[in-house]
Amino acid sequence: MPEPKPVTFPPAFLWGAATSAYQIEGAVREGGRTPSIWDTFSRTPGATAGGDTGDVAVDHYHRYRDDVALMAELGLNAYRFSVSWPRVQPTGRGPAAQAGLDFYRRLVDELLAHGIRPALTLYHWDLPQELEDAGGWPERETALRFAEYAQLVGEALGDRVEQWITLNEPWCSAFLGYGSGVHAPGRTEPLGALRAAHHLNLAHGLGTQALRSVLPAGASVAVSLNSQVIRPLSQHPADLAAAQRIDDLACGVFHGPVLHGAYPATLLEATSSLTDWSYVLDGDLRAIRQPLDALGLNYYTTALVSSADTAPEGPRADGHGSSAHSPWPGSEDVAFHQVPGEQTEMGWTIDPGGLHELIMRYTREAPGVPLYVTENGAAYPDKVDADGRVHDPERIAYLHGHLSAVHRANADGADVRGYYLWSLMDNFEWAYGYAKRFGAVHVDYATLARTPKSSAHWYGRAARTGQLPPVDAV
């Protein structure tokens, strides 16, 4: 048989890795930084595995130069990071803290000096605690404060950063933070989760306007959504209706207003027993539907749902942590089923076809908008071998499958211009603490020593050549 044709990407394709501030920076009390909701939540007994916090995390705040040098050594040409809101605007109000902004100036300058393109995310879940004390995302005021924060960061870094992302995974902020309570701030309020979703949408729209008022021409403004691929257990009408219900809550609640200027009618109807959506004020939907320069897609797995008549025994198998409270308001009649197939350590089924499906969906829903895979990756129980190396062939196979899905989507007419591996290195994995390792670079949490795993070398080879190596190339 002839050799398979190499999977080759265009020369301009971005090969990146992603992180977030609270998960890697540490230094939570330096430079005037004030507490975020994750500082508070991680100190709540039982909220995180082992009582872990991000106080030190992997100390990126002090080790960023070494971390950037490691990215360059691996061959990456892009890096997606987030700015800590309470580091640059303590308490979420008032003037910027120059010490906080100076850290990000140094980080960006270091990236540019190594030929690595920065992609800046303004919000990756670390709301200043004082804004939460005032009501948090269920309150409209938080969206207004976000727009002010976006302008401060845009003014400070707009001369250095071309690629901007307003929010990362607002679904998690709204529905895990205020619905199931497994993420900060740990509230369990179905109505609060829906209100939070709207005000996060509004924050994106107002933040985009604020950025564009200060950024130079040519800057790109996007949002990163973790829109999920929802599949019905069968073609029975009740299962199809269940899938629509969850799709509205997983996807439509964000891409409806962001891309189309309206919430899905089916979403409004399904949640009518909880809310009349009167907090959506005149002008909100126009403000939310800002033209996008790009759209970020975060993808990990798929979901399988049915009507509750066929509910399996045991905890809810939606992959979003264990809680007696649902992150799916108004969907008590929907059951989640474990998706068949090989799983990562998170219990998430590996399905590269779902990434292809998601990319093609947004190719249809946002025609002409460039796409980026802003997160994709897998957790495995990685260990340092006797030879001092970390061999993770499962992650290499995962990356090969998902990058091949991106390549196939582009061949099918999509416009995916970059891929950001989650994550650059092992870090504080939210409620899982330090128990789950997503990194391409292993971190010894006792010494904070960094060791690139086999997958990091494999991915670096792909980045340098623009071509996927065989899965057994390392």
Query: Using N-to-C axis directions, what is the helix angle for 393-411 and 352-365, rounded to 10°?
Result: 30
Q: Which ranges constitute the DSSP H helices of 33-184?
A: 37-42, 60-74, 85-88, 98-113, 129-133, 140-157, 170-171
3-class SS of residue 357: helix
Whether 394 sits among the annotated catalytic residues: the reply is no
Contact between residue 278 and residue 293 where contact means Cβ atoms under 8 Å apart: no
Number of CB atoms found within 10 A of residue 290's CB: 19
What is the C-alpha separation between 56 and 266, in angstroms, rounded?
A: 44
In a 10 Å sphere around its CB, with 0-12 CB exposed, 13-18 middle and 19+ buried, how is residue 119 labelled? buried
Token pair in block for residue 161: 């950063």
28 - beta bridge partners?
A: none
Q: Among candidates 474, 473, 465, 391, which has minimal Cα distance to 15?
A: 465
Residue 324: alpha-carbon gap to chain centroid: 24
Whether 169 sits among the annotated catalytic residues: the reply is yes
What is the C-alpha separation between 93 and 149, in angstroms, rounded?
A: 8
Q: Which of 169, 313, 332, 357 is catalytic?
A: 169
Q: Among candidates 219, 259, 289, which has minimal Cα distance to 363?
A: 259
In a 10 Å sphere around its CB, with 0-12 CB exposed, 13-18 middle and 19+ buried, how is residue 125 labelled? buried
Query: Tokens 């065989």 belong to which residue?
Result: 470
What is the C-alpha separation between 177 and 259, in angstroms, rounded?
A: 24
Ordered DSSP codes for 208-243: HHHHHHHSPTT-EEEEEE---EEEESSSSHHHHHHH
Query: Tokens 């040409």 belong to which residue?
Result: 77
Could you list the active site residues? 169, 375
